[in-house]
Amino acid sequence: METTLHQQLKHSYAPDDSQTEVTLGAYRIDAVRDDELIEIQCASLSAIRDKCQTLLKRHRLRVVKPVVMRTRIAKIKRAGGKVTSRRMSPKRGNVLDVFEELIYFTRVFPHGNLTIEIPLVHVEQVRSPKRGRRRRSWHKDYRVEDTRLESIESTIEIRVPEDLLDLIGLPEESAPFNTADLAAWTDLPRWKTQQIAYVLRKTGAVEVATRNRNGIVYRRVA
């Protein structure tokens, strides 16, 4: 089901309502602006990977992948009911979270017709209690009914592999590095910087320089 967030972003990119949900061959395009197709993807990028590969053969394409920076939680007692309480979630997003999605998009990016746009958004998430007994203690005890846009903090565009290096703040004259170095630069856990390194290598932003007892050593290409 399409969320309110998806609808809001779709209409913000289209010049008017007639340029949303446009049929193009076997596909439905979220929005069209001038000669550029726009796909809004709040879920996993893997879901639109094949679609994007097909569209890019003949069209300019902008994939809009929002990253949630702050979430306001609105609770309701049942679907469609009134909001009974609101609070800010202590969890904060990071623009580098996008690398978790780019893992599934390295067969698509980079491409001369492709722009990936990352809006850093603040949202309200509407939750209702999940009925029935939880089977595991780690299962969520709520259902997400909707997600709504509150504001856009800023927007980042990625067109070429070098933009990925700028995203993590890697200096142009940087020395060869490993994922431990990335963890120190980005203040992220090692497993996340391993994901980042994978994306950087697969997209051609870095290459393997050597291997040592600490693992793979990379150097920038872009």
Tens of pLDDT along 82-103?
A: 999 999 999 999 999 999 999 9
Q: Check whether 149 has a pLDDT greater than 60.
A: yes
Band the pLDDT of 182: cuts 50, 70, 90.
very high
Checking if the pLDDT of 132 tops 80, the result is no
pTM of the predicted model, to two decimals? Answer: 0.91
- At residue 138, does pLDDT exceed 70? no
Q: Kindly report, residue by residue over 59-71, the tens digit of the pLDDT.
A: 999 999 999 999 9
Is the pLDDT at 133 greater than 70? The verdict is: no
CATH number for the segment(s) 161-222:
1.10.10.10
Q: What is the pLDDT of residue 98?
A: 96
Over 70: is that where the pLDDT of 126 sits?
Answer: yes
* Local confidence band at 136 (pLDDT 50, 70, 90 cut-offs): low
137 φ, ψ (degrees, to nearest 5): -65, -25
Q: Where in the chain is the domain with CATH 1.10.10.10?
A: 161-222
